[in-house]
């Protein structure tokens, strides 16, 4: 079977992977280092997202709303349930992490550090890794042919891999343009929510606002709705779902910027002594 991937698809897959990795790094270089990051908290942010936003959410979704239940529930109910589970799990991990950290740290370096960890895990795991995998498959098929790539795989997985590659070839290259924008939005969302949740515990110029905890939970759940609804195959085009997702991300970014100006403008961020010893 003759199968050729377009160069555009391969290039856009690479662009998705590149943006997913370099986005958090640019945030780290151009903004994070100015704030004297607490590097152990970057790891803490990754761990919190991995344990709650990925593993815990996956287990609960698998029990409460498995993919097989989509036809029974319908796309709307399925989307709402999955969004609530996934969004609440992510923010639960962030809230518990800050609950543990608030007695030790009071610096704005905390949400910046944790936000980088959240953004790294989100962008790399959900966008960079799948994009690199698809890019490698597409390049190998173009160079060696479909059967060569399939035969190199585990015999038990060969039929499934053949179908995956054929499906990938049928995917328009424009999908990877959407993936790139999705990756950028995922990074922005992680950074914004990490900052907003911190204001529920610490704020330089105003009193901590507990209502921001509820806001972060609600915002994350709402931001999950367009993508899950699209993945439920309720709509065939990502244009509408993507536009809604990008608009919601833009609103979150503006809201976070306004809160930051009100709460920590001119804050002098310093690393605590324990951080200097660790470094």
How many C-beta atoms lie closer than 10 Å to residue 29's C-beta?
A: 11
- Chain segment 208-234, per-residue pLDDT in tens: 889 999 999 999 999 999 988 887 776
**Cα–Cα–Cα angle for 249, 23, 124, rounded to 5 degrees:** 90
Per-residue pLDDT band at 266 (split at 50, 70, 90): low
Q: 16 is written with which tokens? A: 């998705």
Q: Compute CA 45 distance to the chain's CA centroid, rounded to the nearest angstrom.
A: 12
DSSP string, 119-141: HHHHHIIIIIHHHHHHHHHHHHH
Per-residue pLDDT band at 35 (split at 50, 70, 90): low
Q: What is the overall mean pLDDT for the chain?
A: 83
**Structural element, H or E, at residue 176:** helix 174-198
Cα–Cα dist 254/256, whole Å: 5
Cα distance from N-terminal residue to C-terminal residue, the chain: 56
Mean pLDDT value across residues 261-270: 63
Cα–Cα dist 261/252, whole Å: 14
Cα–Cα dist 65/69, whole Å: 6
Select, from the ranges 117-126, 247-256, 264-273, the one with the highest average predicted confidence (pLDDT). Answer: 247-256
- Chain segment 180-198, per-residue pLDDT in tens: 888 899 999 999 999 999 9
Percent of residues, the chain, with pLDDT higher than 70: 89
Q: Is the pLDDT of residue 275 over 90?
A: no
Q: Compute CA 176 distance to the chain's CA centroid, rounded to the nearest angstrom.
A: 16
Per-residue pLDDT band at 241 (split at 50, 70, 90): confident
Cα–Cα dist 246/182, whole Å: 8
Cα–Cα dist 250/254, whole Å: 6
Contact indicator for 16, 128 with CB cutoff of 8 Å: yes
Cα–Cα dist 133/144, whole Å: 16
- Chain segment 143-161, per-residue pLDDT in tens: 888 888 888 888 877 887 8
Instruction: Quote helix, strand, coil % in the chain, to nearest 5.
Output: 80, 0, 20
Q: Give pLDDT, residue 274.
A: 38
Cα–Cα dist 86/67, whole Å: 14
Q: Give pLDDT, residue 45.
A: 87
Contact indicator for 212, 199 with CB cutoff of 8 Å: yes
């Amino acid at each position: 079977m003759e199968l050729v991937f377009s160069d555009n698809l391969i290039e856009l897959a690479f662009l998705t992977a590149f943006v997913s990795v370099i986005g958090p790094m640019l945030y780290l270089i151009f903004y994070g280092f100015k704030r004297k990051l607490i590097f152990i908290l970057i790891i803490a942010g990754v761990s919190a997202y991995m344990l709650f936003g990925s593993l815990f959410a996956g287990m609960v979704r698998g029990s409460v709303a498995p993919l097989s239940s989509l036809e029974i529930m319908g796309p709307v109910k399925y989307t709402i349930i999955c969004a609530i589970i996934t969004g609440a799990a992510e923010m639960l991990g962030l809230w518990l992490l800050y609950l543990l950290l608030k007695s030790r740290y009071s610096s704005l370096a905390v949400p910046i550090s944790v936000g980088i960890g959240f953004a790294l895990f989100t962008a790399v795991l959900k966008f960079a890794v799948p994009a690199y995998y698809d890019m490698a498959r597409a390049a190998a098929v173009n160079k060696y042919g479909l059967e060569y790539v399939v035969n190199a795989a585990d015999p038990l997985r060969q039929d499934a891999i053949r179908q995956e590659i054929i499906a990938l070839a049928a995917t328009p290259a424009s999908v990877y343009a959407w993936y790139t924008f999705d990756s950028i939005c995922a990074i922005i969302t992680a950074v914004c929510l990490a900052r907003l949740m911190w204001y529920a515990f610490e704020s330089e110029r105003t009193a901590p606002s507990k209502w921001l905890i509820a806001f972060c939970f609600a915002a994350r759940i709402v931001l999950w709705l367009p993508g899950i609804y699209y993945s439920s195959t309720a709509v065939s085009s990502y244009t509408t779902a993507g536009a809604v997702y990008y608009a919601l991300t833009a609103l979150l970014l503006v809201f976070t910027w306004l809160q930051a100006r009100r709460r920590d403008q001119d804050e002098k961020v310093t690393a605590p002594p324990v951080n200097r010893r660790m470094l």
